[in-house]
Amino acid sequence: MRNYLLITLLFLAGQSFSQNTLPNSLIDAQKSAIKENKMIMLVVQSPTCNQCNEVAEAGIKSVRKRLEENCVIVSNTGVPAGVFSIPSLFMIPKDLFGVIWFDKDFNPLSIKNGSTTFSNEYVKGMETAKNEAANTNSSFQFYKEAYYKEVKNFSAVYNLLNKIKSIGFEPEGFLIDELVQKAPLDSAASLSFLSNVMRFAPLVGSIAFRFVEKNRDNYNMAWYRMDTRERISINQRLIWKSTQKAIAEKNPSYAYQVAAYNQATYLDKQEDGARANMKTMLDYYKGINDTVSYMRQVFNFYDRFYMQLTVADIKREDSLMLINARKTQNPEMERMNQAALDQLPDSIKALIKSRGGIVAKQMVTYAPKAQFYANTLNEGAWTIYQYTDNITYLTKALQMARKAVEFFETPEVADTYARLLYKTGNKAEAINWQKKAIELNNKRGYNSGVFETVLKKMEKGEGKID
C-alpha cells in the first residue's frame, strides 16, 4: 500500500508534464492546438538514421495538407522529456522514431513506429487518433484519471492497461504487478486472467511474472491455447522490456536473468537459444555503453553464428523460397487483373503497352535470409567501427562487413565497408565502395549528403572522416 501511495503522490506532484522540460516548438504547438482545436502530431526523428527521417518526410509530404486539417505538426529529435506523465505509465524506447499523436494536453492518442513512404499509413494513424480523441469516456486520459482516483480498484488498473496496449504502447511493469496484486481471489488463477496478464508482457522476474509461473498448470494451458505468432510476439515484447529495465538500472545480474529466459524460449533449439542469450547480453552492454564487455564478446558471437555461413547456400535458399512464394499466388487474382485490363479503353491499353505492358500484379511477400544476415553483420561491424581504433579489432570488423556486402548490398552496408576499408588503410578501395554507397542511395531517391561528405574527406586523405 505504501508503494501505491508514493505513486499517487508523485503523480499529483508532477501532473501531466512540465513546460520547463519541453522544447519551445512543442509549447508553441500546444498553444496552436488549443487555439485551433486540433491534435498534436509529433514527428519523432531518428538521431542516427538520416535516411529514416527522409523516408518519413517523403511519406508525410504528399498528405501534409490533409494532416494539417486535423493536426498541428511538429518535429523533434527523440521524444522530449516532460511530454508524458510522471511517473510514466508506459515504456518509451530511447531510440524511438516515428509519429505520436496527442490531444492538446499531451495525452497520447495513437503511435506509428518507424517511417514509410506510404502516405496513407500516416492518414490511417491520424484517423485512429481522431477516433480515439472523440471517445472521451474511453480515452487514455479518462482511464488514467480513474486509475489515480480509484487506487484500490482492480477494474481501474485493468482498463488502463488495456487502453495503453490498444493505443500501441507497452505498459510499465509496476502496473502489471499491481493488477495481479488486486485481482479477485476467485478469478486470479483462471485461464482467461493468466492469458491477459501474459498479453501485457510482464517483466522477467517481476511480481506478475512470478504470479503466472506459480500457477504453472493453468499457465501452460492458457499459454498453449494462444496462437504461435501471438506467443512469439509476447516473448519478444517481454524480453525487450526486461532488457530495457536492465539497461536503465545498469544491472548485469538482471540482464543475465533476461538472457537466460530468452534462451529458454527456444526449447530444444540449443544453438538458437545460445545465440539469443549472447545477443541479449550484447544489447545490454551496448545499451549501457560498456565498450570493454561488448568488445570482449562480440567476435565470439559473430564468429560462431554468422561468419561460418556460406553465402551461396543462403542465396540458394532464398531463391527456392521466392519460387515457392510465387507458386502460392492466387490464379483467380491474375485472371481478375487481366479482366480489368480487357475493360480499359483502347487508348489506355496502348499507353500501357508503350510502357512495357505493365499491369498490376499480386504482391509476393517473403523475407530474404541474405538481407537479414547482411543487416545483422553490418550492425556489429558498425558498432565496432564506432567503439574502437584498435587495428586488430577493426580488421575483424572489416571481415564482417565484407561478408555483409557478399550477402546483400545496401547503401548502409556499403558505407560501413567503405569506412572500415579506409580506417584499416585501404583508401583506394574505400573510395570505390563509398561511391557505390552513394550510387545505391541515389537509386532509392534519398539524399546522400552524409555519404558524400565522407567521400570528400576520403579523397582528401583526411585522418578523421566522421
pLDDT tens, residue by residue, 383-417: 999 999 999 999 999 999 999 999 999 999 999 99
- 252 pLDDT above the threshold of 60: yes
- 245 pLDDT above the threshold of 60: yes
Short-list 210, 46, 72, CA closest to 129: 72
Element (H, E) at 90: strand 90-91
> What are residue 40's DSSP bridge partners?
72, 102
Question: How far is CA 45 from its chain centroid?
Answer: 13
Contact call for residues 133 and 109 (beta carbons, < 8 A): yes
**What confidence tens digit (pLDDT) does each residue in 139-196 have?**
999 999 999 987 778 999 999 999 999 999 999 999 999 999 999 988 888 999 999 9
pLDDT reported for residue 363: 45
Query: Between 70 and 331, whose confidence is greater?
Result: 70
**What confidence tens digit (pLDDT) does each residue in 10-35 have?**
333 333 444 457 888 999 999 999 99
pLDDT reported for residue 277: 97
Average pLDDT rounded to a whole number, residues 246-259: 97
328: confidence class by pLDDT, cuts 50, 70, 90: low
Number of other CB atoms surrounding residue 69 within 10 Å = 8
Contact call for residues 98 and 111 (beta carbons, < 8 A): yes
**Interstrand relation of 39-45 and 98-102 (parallel, antiparallel or unpaired):** antiparallel
- 1 pLDDT above the threshold of 50: no
Sign (positive or negative) of CA dihedral 392, 394, 398, 400: positive
Average pLDDT rounded to a whole number, residues 277-285: 98
pLDDT reported for residue 82: 76
One-character DSSP codes across 129-198: HHHHHH-GGGSHHHHHHHHHH-TT-HHHHHHHHHHHHHTT-EEPHHHHHHHHHHS-TTTTTSHHHHHHHH
Q: Contacts from 238-241 at CB under 8 Å and sequence distance 24+?
A: 238/201, 238/202, 238/203, 238/204, 239/204, 239/265, 239/280, 241/91, 241/170, 241/173, 241/201, 241/203
pLDDT reported for residue 312: 93
CB proximity list for 100: less than 8 A, separation 6 or greater: 41, 42, 44, 79, 108, 110, 111, 112
Residue 248 three-state SS = helix
Contact call for residues 161 and 193 (beta carbons, < 8 A): no
- 122 pLDDT above the threshold of 60: yes
pLDDT reported for residue 330: 56
Mean pLDDT estimate for the chain: 86
Q: Which residue has the cell 580488421?
A: 395
Element (H, E) at 75: strand 71-77
**Interstrand relation of 90-91 and 170-171 (parallel, antiparallel or unpaired):** antiparallel
Question: How far is CA 226 from its chain centroid?
Answer: 23
∠ at Cα 140 (138, 142), nearest 5°?
Answer: 60
Residue 415 three-state SS = helix
State residue 168 phi and psi, 5-degree precision.
100, 10
**What confidence tens digit (pLDDT) does each residue in 291-309 have?**
999 999 999 999 999 999 9
275: confidence class by pLDDT, cuts 50, 70, 90: very high
94: confidence class by pLDDT, cuts 50, 70, 90: confident
d(CA 168, CA 162): 10
d(CA 224, CA 369): 28
d(CA 21, CA 452): 36
Average pLDDT rounded to a whole number, residues 222-246: 94
Element (H, E) at 441: helix 427-444
331: confidence class by pLDDT, cuts 50, 70, 90: low
pLDDT reported for residue 343: 46
CB proximity list for 404: less than 8 A, separation 6 or greater: 373, 374, 375, 377, 378, 381, 413, 416, 417
pLDDT reported for residue 203: 97
- 280 pLDDT above the threshold of 70: yes
CB proximity list for 216: less than 8 A, separation 6 or greater: none
427: confidence class by pLDDT, cuts 50, 70, 90: very high
**What confidence tens digit (pLDDT) does each residue in 39-88 have?**
999 999 988 788 788 888 989 998 999 999 999 999 999 888 778 766 78
Contact call for residues 11 and 149 (beta carbons, < 8 A): no
pLDDT reported for residue 100: 95
